[in-house]
Amino acid sequence: MKKTIRDYDLNNKKVIIRVDFNVPIKDGIITDDNRIKESLKTIKYAIDNNAKVILMSHLGRIKEESDKEKNSLDIVAKRLSELLNQDVVFINETRGKKLESAINNLKPKEVLLMENTRFEDLDGNKESGNDKELGKYWASLGDLFINDAFGTCHRSHASNVGIASNIENGIGFLVEKEINNLGVLNNPERPFTVILGGAKVSDKIKVIENLVNKADYILIGGGMAYTFLSASGLPIGKSLLDSENIEFAKTMLDKYPDKIILPIDSVNGKDISHGTEVSECFVSDMKDDMIGLDIGHTTIKLFKQYLSDSKTIIWNGPVGYTEIEEFSNGTKSICEILKNLDAIKIVGGGDTAAAIINLGYKDYMTHVSTGGGASLEFLEGKTLPGIEIISDK
Ligand code: ADP
Ligand code: MG
């Protein structure tokens, strides 16, 4: 068990919290402030416990000087201040006298946000490369470090691993929630079913390898299903084929014939575009010019049988090409099935989370992970460096 913010006395302490304020911004406006809202619990806890709160986050990627202007955390500070209903001191620096004196002037319950940690990347990738000196310097600004940015936990950066290597540390409420929820796969109530979709098999090989040993069933949809169907000798037309991984798919099907469940029918397009000619057929009847873009009605019924009995369900990867309406029915139908199920329902992966939120089903899930890449690596069974570095209880 990792230490958490609750394990420390925060009174009058300078508490550095690494949050994930990597929000989408268009024309100078935050288009989705969910990530800021998700961080409030930890920030408010620190305020309520009389901490001097120092917040750090990255925003976008900083490759050249001109990336700085549109990736300043300035407007995030304003939004945060509204959400907290108190002033937030914004310092447009990531190091130096101005930042240091502002921190030293903080009183308990005050909140400071420093500039985008990735501004340090302009000077030799110091943040993303976990520069030792930078991690040590940032650590010197506070008494305690709390990592609450799940979305970057799969990366070893100066603002997470670097700081944590130098001072006392713990995780925040958001990271704790992610670990507890995604962690169900290590001790699931059974039957435990995994829904796996998305584009390519190659993106999900490690997820399959890790989960095939833990799950009772793996229901495969999305683009990757067609490589599995091809591996079992079926025609797939012009559907996505990951030819390098046909052997892998064959091995999995041979080894786990009752565990891996493939679609039995497919919704197809002539092209991958809105308004294209759409057809539906059994997977044995796919024609040469068809592109398989969603699971069919019979498959949905089949998947429903497995899901209805399940006690734990993990879902990664949309089962169809949800960006185009005509091919979003499978994913919508799975949402609808899960909605009414009394089971633990965990969703991981950036595009999957986005699809479920857009379709309006977030509230029916036990947990929708906030960290795309990080949740995927968790499902791959990897240890995440940003969590690994945090002290055990
Ligand atoms: P996540 O980000 O949740 O891990 P992925 O990135 O693996 O999910 O999968 C999302 C992508 O999979 C989407 O861009 C979607 O269009 C694509 N996809 C789903 N079904 C198909 C299909 N039948 N053919 C091609 N691409 C597909
Ligand atoms: Mg993705």
Cβ atoms of 153 and 384 within 8 Å: the answer is yes
Q: What pTM did the predictor assign?
A: 0.92
Q: Does the beta carbon of 203 sit less than 6 angstroms from any atom of ligand 1?
A: yes
First CA to last CA distance, the chain: 6
pLDDT per residue rounded down to tens, the chain (393 residues) = 999 999 999 999 999 999 999 999 999 999 999 999 999 999 999 999 999 999 999 999 999 999 999 999 999 999 999 999 999 999 999 999 999 999 999 999 999 999 999 999 999 999 999 999 999 999 999 999 999 999 999 999 999 999 999 999 999 999 999 999 999 999 999 999 999 999 999 999 999 999 999 999 999 999 999 999 999 999 999 999 999 999 999 999 999 999 999 999 999 999 999 999 999 999 999 999 999 999 999 999 999 999 999 999 999 999 999 999 999 999 999 999 999 999 999 999 989 999 999 999 999 999 999 888 999 999 999 999 999 999 999
Three-state DSSP string of 281-343: EEHHHCCCCCEEEEECHHHHHHHHHHHHHCCEEEEECCCCCCCCHHHCHHHHHHHHHHHCCCC
Ligand nearest to the CA of 316: 1
Ligand with an atom nearest the CA of residue 200: 1
CB-based contact 242:227 (threshold 8 Å): yes
By the CB criterion, residues less than 5 angstroms from ion ligand 2 are: 350-351
Distance 64 CA to ligand 2 centre (A): 26
Centre of ligand 2 to C-alpha 112, Å, is 33
Q: Choose among 214, 241, 194: nearest CA to 352.
A: 194
For residues 11 and 51, the answer to whether their CB atoms sit within 8 Å is yes
Residue found by looking up tokens 């969703």 in the block: 347
Task: Please tell me the number of Cα atoms within 13 Å of 284 on its side-chain side.
Answer: 0
Buried b (16+ CB within 10 A) or exposed e, 298-328: ebbebbbebbeebebbbbbbbbbbbebebbb
Pick the atom of ligand 1 nearest to 352's CA.
Answer: 3
Give me the domains of the chain, ranges plus CATH numbers. Answer: 5-176 (3.40.50.1260), 188-379 (3.40.50.1260)
Chain centroid to CA 337: 23
Contact 103, 96 (CB under 8 A): no
Active site amino acids: 35, 200, 350, 373
Residues forming beta bridges with residue 348, ordered by sequence position: 316
Phi-psi region of 344 (alpha: psi -120 to 50; beta: other; left: phi over 0): beta
Taking the CA of residue 323 as reference, the ligand 1 atom at the shortest distance is 16
